[in-house]
């Protein structure tokens, strides 16, 4: 199965270097090796491999490599200066693809500048859109809720295999990646925070409340949440505000990249899956078309709320409410639909017998609607 970023990356490799990031085991290496087939003499080097690391340090890869793939290169000291040097002195016609875990995206923001030399891409888990040619949208949504969208557990189709994969995945994340961001004595608190967030998907986060439960300072909770976000374990959806700085200060909602890891009923997992699909859609348009689009939610001080909204150029364009069975538009969706001009309003329902329009709100089958997104 060709991943959704295959063609955009293939086209951009002829223009600039491409830096591909994303969660662990989301399929970055698989995608890179599939792209190798488009080249006559591609070479793949993984910095985690001893022999490959030696080749990278000595720069003794094939001189006529028309595609050079450097995986996990961010683990090398002064990696950006190194990459800048090989890009600026590369042979004519050589393409360069840099791949790595979520931490690469974090480190890319500091140190030696690579400005003007690369296109960034973020690879996401599978979505309803990406698997729509294999299963029906409704079945795809049900599988994503149950197994999550990471390729290995999803393609296994097995709850037990998915559970085994998930146990190992999160053990490795905590043992290896989180330890690089924090100290050993903090790991227990971070583990407890992850367990709490699994049950609080879709609810505005009160750092003060969580701090009280964990018996740590609110700023420490913020730090731990930042770590989990940087490692693509969770992502935050913030409330819309015309003043972006004020929106950042408001309480965000947390979702997991892996819907199968969410603790809760089917409705909670459905909301998480929709969040993953919507974020993937927004970031795909950012990365491939440079669009100013982002995912947020809307809420008033008196508690009226809509689960998600798509913001484009600081204006709400789409309101999205998610329900398992309820086909009557929620009061919050009706309220905002009447007050945000030109915004399209949708209620996504997983178990829906018939699509209809009610008071300007399109009540649609969640799987079918998600299958129409751009990624």
- The domain total for the chain is 2
Of 76, 92, 122, which residue sits at a domain end? 122
Nearest residue to 285 via CA among 315, 257, 312: 312
Q: Report the pLDDT value the prediction gives residue 250, as an integer from 0 to 100.
A: 82
Say whether both 114 and 238 belong to one domain: no
Q: Report the pLDDT value the prediction gives residue 183, as an integer from 0 to 100.
A: 72
Is residue 131 a part of any domain in this protein?
no
Q: For strand 118-122 and strand 67-71, is the pairing parallel, antiparallel, or unpaired?
A: unpaired
Nearest residue to 361 via CA among 350, 370, 349: 349
Domain coverage including residue 257: 137-370
For residue 244, what is the enclosing H or E element?
helix 244-249
Nearest residue to 131 via CA among 141, 121, 145, 117: 141
Nearest residue to 279 via CA among 228, 317, 341, 234: 234
Are 181 and 195 spatial neighbours (Cβ–Cβ below 8 Å)?
A: no
Query: In 3-state terms, what secondary structure has residue 78?
Result: coil
C-alpha span between 374 and 134 (Å, rounded)? 17
Say whether both 341 and 242 belong to one domain: yes
Query: In 3-state terms, what secondary structure has residue 122?
Result: strand
Say whether both 178 and 233 belong to one domain: yes
Say whether both 213 and 265 belong to one domain: yes
Say whether both 147 and 265 belong to one domain: yes
Of 99, 122, 145, which residue sits at a domain end? 122
Is residue 128 a part of any domain in this protein?
no
Q: Report the pLDDT value the prediction gives residue 341, as an integer from 0 to 100.
A: 87
Say whether both 207 and 343 belong to one domain: yes
Is residue 329 a part of any domain in this protein?
yes
Is residue 81 a part of any domain in this protein?
yes
Is residue 130 a part of any domain in this protein?
no
Task: Give, for all 375 residues of the chain, the pLDDT tens digit.
Answer: 789 999 999 999 999 999 999 999 999 999 999 999 999 999 999 999 999 999 999 999 998 999 999 999 988 988 999 999 999 999 999 999 999 876 565 555 555 578 889 999 999 999 999 999 999 999 999 999 999 999 999 999 999 999 999 999 988 887 777 777 667 678 888 989 999 999 999 999 999 999 999 999 999 999 999 989 988 999 999 999 865 555 555 899 999 999 999 999 999 999 999 999 999 999 999 999 999 999 999 998 888 999 999 999 989 999 999 999 999 999 999 999 999 989 999 999 999 999 999 999 999 999 999 999 998
Sign of CA dihedral 22, 27, 29, 35: negative
CATH number for the domain harbouring residue 101? 3.40.50.300
Beta strands per DSSP E along the chain = 17-21, 42-46, 67-71, 95-99, 118-122, 234-239, 253-256, 293-299, 305-312, 315-323, 344-349, 356-358, 361-365
Cβ-based neighbours of 104, under 8 Å, separated by 6 or more = 19, 21, 73, 74, 98
Say whether both 204 and 334 belong to one domain: yes
Is residue 375 a part of any domain in this protein?
no
Say whether both 219 and 78 belong to one domain: no
Q: Report the pLDDT value the prediction gives residue 2, as an integer from 0 to 100.
A: 82
Say whether both 201 and 229 belong to one domain: yes
Q: Which residues pair with 362 in a beta bridge?
A: 346, 357
Q: Report the pLDDT value the prediction gives residue 209, as an integer from 0 to 100.
A: 95
Is residue 127 a part of any domain in this protein?
no
Is residue 129 a part of any domain in this protein?
no
Say whether both 152 and 15 belong to one domain: no
Say whether both 108 and 235 belong to one domain: no
Say whether both 343 and 197 belong to one domain: yes
Q: Calculate ∠ Cα 188-237-101, nearest 5°.
A: 60
C-alpha span between 143 and 129 (Å, rounded)? 13
């Amino acid at each position: 199965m060709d991943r959704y970023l295959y063609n955009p990356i293939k086209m951009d490799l002829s223009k600039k270097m491409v830096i591909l990031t994303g969660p662990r085991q989301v399929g970055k290496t698989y995608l890179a090796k599939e792209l190798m087939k488009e080249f006559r003499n591609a070479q793949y080097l993984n910095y985690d491999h001893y022999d490959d690391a030696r080749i990278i340090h000595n720069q003794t890869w094939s001189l006529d490599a028309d595609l050079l793939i450097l995986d996990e290169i961010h683990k090398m000291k002064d990696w950006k200066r190194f990459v800048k040097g090989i890009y600026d002195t590369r042979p004519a016609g050589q393409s360069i693809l840099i791949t790595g875990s979520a931490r690469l995206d974090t480190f890319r923001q500091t140190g030696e500048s690579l400005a003007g030399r690369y296109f960034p891409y973020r690879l996401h888990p599978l979505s309803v859109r990406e698997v729509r040619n294999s299963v029906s949208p409704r079945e795809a949504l049900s599988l994503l809720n149950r197994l999550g969208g990471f390729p290995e557990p999803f393609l296994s189709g097995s709850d037990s295999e998915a559970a085994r994969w998930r146990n190992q995945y999160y053990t490795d994340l905590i043992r290896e990646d989180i330890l690089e961001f924090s100290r050993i004595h903090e790991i227990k608190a971070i583990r407890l925070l992850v367990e709490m967030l699994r049950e609080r998907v879709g609810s505005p986060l009160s750092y003060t409340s969580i701090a009280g439960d964990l018996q740590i300072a609110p700023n420490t909770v913020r730090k731990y949440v930042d770590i989990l976000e940087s490692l693509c374990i969770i992502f935050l959806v913030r409330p819309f505000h015309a003043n972006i700085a004020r929106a950042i200060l408001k309480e965000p909602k947390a979702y997991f990249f892996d819907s199968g890891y969410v603790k809760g009923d089917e409705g909670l997992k459905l909301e998480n899956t929709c969040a993953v699909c919507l974020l993937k859609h927004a970031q795909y348009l950012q990365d491939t078309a440079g669009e100013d689009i982002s995912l947020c939610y809307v809420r008033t001080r008196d508690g009226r709320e809509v689960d998600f909204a798509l913001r484009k150029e600081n204006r709400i364009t789409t309101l999205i409410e998610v329900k398992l069975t309820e086909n009557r538009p929620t009061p919050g969706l009706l309220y905002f639909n009447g007050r945000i001009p030109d915004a399209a309003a949708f209620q996504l329902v997983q178990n829906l017998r018939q699509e209809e329009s009610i008071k300007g709100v399109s009540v649609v089958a969640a799987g079918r609607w998600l299958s129409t997104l751009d990624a």
